[in-house]
């Protein structure tokens, strides 16, 4: 089957569109020690080239320069030598290049950048740099972008930045971040696919990603691997996250619900079923699903309640889709869903606090638990509103850190009809990024804590990150900002 799945994935490899960005600049004359910054106008992903020539006298030694690609302005003056993060510094987008002869120079690697900083380290004679060009690449075609009527100017801006984020992450697959971590992750795939249906609506790339995960290795429990690599060869990842495994099933349901492509759903049904059944088969003694879930970059957060919510949310979407397609298995899943919702409220709702706690023996309290209990249908209506708003407004509750978790928070607000609150939440998070000049939405954004990083150093953060692109989905699907 693996070969069949990979063949289907290859058949759906999207076309890469190339747009050449040529900043309108006169040639710059640089000597040793001089620095020059090119501003592409917004964030792009692609390949940089320029011409190095001699200014007056022919250069009699190679020109050595440092070329740094910056997603945001702050990176221009960062000192990379004091990098303290625990991810590999090889993700920092900087090269030392030596050019032997005057001429056109095309840098071979792909970068994610708005700003390009060139620092001449060694030049025996003045260099003349010109013909700066950036070949931006994306499988998103701006000509196919669906028009959207967004009256509120802030939301129009947010939508634009969200679309740019999605575009720059759409390459051969839905990348996680085009600067760092170019893997395909299920959690990001799902959010990008949702935004994609309402913007570029390129269903090939979604199909390709679904088939790639079908080709990946299930673990001994039947879980779907949380990430994979597809270049230069297909390699299954080696990390299993229990919520991501389930979100594969959600992604497949979303795909069918948006495309009506029944053939693909039936083709991949057994893969999604494996994810759901593996959660079902790995419950603890209390009947709650048990596994290592991602949920959010929130090191102190206990995640049992949130994961239970992901499971119930998935089961709900799964049943709805199976029903549409007439699968007999639906009634068995419906029973489980109904029982498990009751079990969850019994075990995880703390009446005294009037809140969902993070685990059965935990006093911790978080937006995450509230959001996922709402999305999982464990609470509904006024009760749900009260719980969710109280978690959001409480000073004691653990709050979402990543735009990934912010997405599901907005989703829960909208599900409950709290449109004003959802809009305000989007303004606060994504509008906050726009206010500080974002051309694309960041991997991490904690209002008021600009240097927050889950990796020990802001410099390694990805400033164009797939999971942050969903305001375009909310704004366009629900007509926000109208």
The answer to the question of residue 100 lying near its own copies (CB under 8 A) is yes
Backbone angles phi, psi at 142, to 5 degrees: -60, -25
CA 9 vs CA 131, 176, 229, 237, 255: distances in Å: 38, 18, 13, 17, 15
Taking the complex as a whole, how short is the minimal distance between the CB of residue 473 and its own copies, in angstroms?
28
By the 8 A CB rule, do 64 and 97 touch?
Answer: yes
Q: What's the rounded Cα separation, in Å, for the pair 14 and 203? A: 9
Q: Give yes or no for residue 91 binding its own copies (CB under 8 A).
A: yes
Task: Determine if 326 is a binding residue for its own copies (CB under 8 A).
Answer: no
Listed ranges 62-70, 197-205, 216-224, 393-401: which one lies at the site for its own copies (CB under 8 A): 62-70
Q: What angle do CA 472, 193, 296 make, to 5 degrees?
A: 80
Q: Pick from 15, 22, 23, 98 the residue near its own copies by CB under 8 A.
A: 98
Interaction between residue 443 and its own copies (CB under 8 A): no
Q: How far is the CB of 51 from its own copies (least distance, A)?
A: 11
- 58, 81 contact by CB (below 8 A): no
Q: Number of residues in contact with its own copies, rule: CB under 8 A?
A: 37
Confirm or reject binding of residue 124 to its own copies (CB under 8 A). yes
Options 22, 96, 436, 449; binder of its own copies; rule CB under 8 A:
96
The span from the CA of 89 to the CA of 85, in Å, is 8
- Shortest spacing between CB 191 and its own copies, in angstroms: 21
Candidate ranges 61-69, 140-148, 270-278, 304-312; the one touching its own copies (CB under 8 A): 61-69
For its own copies, which is the closer residue by CB, 163 or 228?
Answer: 228
Binding status of residue 229 toward its own copies by CB under 8 A: yes
- Give the H or E element holding residue 364: none
Asked whether position 183 contacts its own copies by CB under 8 A, the answer is: yes
Q: Closest approach of Cβ 335 to its own copies, in Å?
A: 41
Cα–Cα distance, 374 to 399 (Å, whole number): 16
The only residue of 10, 77, 238, 435 in contact with its own copies, by rule CB under 8 A: 238
Q: Does residue 101 touch its own copies according to CB under 8 A?
A: yes
Which are the contacts of 10, defined by CB distance < 8 A and separation ≥ 6?
none
Tokens describing residue 473: 């989905």
Question: Among the candidate windows 4-12, 104-112, 437-445, 470-478, which touches its own copies by CB under 8 A?
Answer: 104-112
51 is a site residue for its own copies (CB under 8 A): no
Phi-psi region of 188 (alpha: psi -120 to 50; beta: other; left: phi over 0): alpha
Which of 428, 435, 440, 363 shows the shortest CA–CA distance to 400? Answer: 428
Binding residues vs its own copies (CB under 8 A): 57-58, 60-64, 87-91, 95-96, 98, 100-103, 108-110, 121-124, 180-183, 229, 231-233, 235, 237-238
């Amino acid at each position: 089957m693996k070969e069949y799945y990979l063949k289907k994935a290859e058949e759906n490899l999207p076309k890469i569109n190339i747009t050449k960005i040529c900043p309108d600049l006169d040639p710059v004359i640089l000597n040793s020690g001089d620095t020059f910054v090119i501003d592409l106008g917004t964030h792009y992903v692609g390949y940089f080239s320029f011409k190095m020539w001699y200014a007056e006298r022919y250069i009699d030694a190679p020109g050595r320069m440092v070329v740094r690609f910056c997603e945001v302005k702050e990176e221009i003056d960062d000192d990379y030598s004091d990098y303290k993060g625990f991810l590999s510094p090889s993700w920092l987008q900087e090269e030392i290049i030596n050019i032997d002869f005057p001429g056109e120079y095309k840098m071979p690697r792909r970068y994610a950048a708005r700003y390009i900083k060139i620092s001449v380290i060694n030049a025996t004679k003045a260099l003349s740099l010109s013909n700066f060009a950036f070949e931006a690449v994306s499988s998103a075609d701006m000509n196919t972008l669906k028009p959207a009527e967004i009256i509120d100017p802030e939301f129009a801006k947010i939508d634009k930045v969200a679309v740019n984020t999605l575009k720059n992450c759409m390459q051969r697959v839905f990348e996680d971040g085009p600067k760092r971590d170019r893997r395909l992750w299920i959690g990001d795939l799902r959010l990008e696919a949702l935004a994609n249906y309402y913007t570029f609506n390129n269903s090939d790339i979604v199909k390709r990603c679904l088939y790639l995960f079908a080709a990946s290795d299930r673990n001994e429990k039947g879980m779907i691997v949380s990430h994979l690599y597809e270049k230069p060869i297909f390699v299954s990842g080696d990390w299993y996250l229990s919520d991501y495994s389930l979100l594969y099933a959600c992604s497949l349901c979303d795909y069918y619900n948006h495309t009506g492509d029944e053939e693909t759903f039936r083709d991949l049904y057994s893969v999604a079923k494996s994810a759901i059944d593996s959660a079902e088969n790995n419950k603890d003694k209390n009947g709650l699903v048990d596994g290592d879930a991602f949920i959010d970059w929130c090191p102190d957060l206990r995640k049992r309640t949130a994961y239970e919510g992901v499971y119930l949310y998935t089961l709900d979407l799964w049943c709805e889709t199976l029903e549409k397609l007439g699968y007999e298995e639906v009634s068995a899943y419906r029973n489980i869903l109904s029982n498990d919702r009751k079990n969850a409220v019994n075990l995880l709702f703390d009446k005294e606090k009037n809140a969902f706690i993070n685990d059965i023996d935990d006093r911790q309290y978080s937006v995450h638990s509230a959001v996922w209990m709402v999305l999982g249908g464990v609470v509904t209506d006024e009760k749900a509103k009260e719980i969710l708003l109280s978690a959001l407004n409480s000073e004691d509750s653990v709050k979402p850190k990543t735009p990934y978790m912010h997405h599901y928070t907005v989703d829960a607000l909208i599900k409950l009809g709290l449109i004003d609150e959802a809009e305000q939440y989007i303004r606060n998070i994504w509008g906050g990024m726009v206010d500080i000049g974002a051309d694309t939405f960041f991997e991490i954004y904690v209002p008021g804590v600009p240097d927050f990083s889950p990796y020990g150093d802001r410099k390694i953060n990805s400033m164009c990150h797939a999971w942050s692109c969903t305001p375009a989905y909310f704004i366009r699907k629900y007509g926000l900002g109208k």
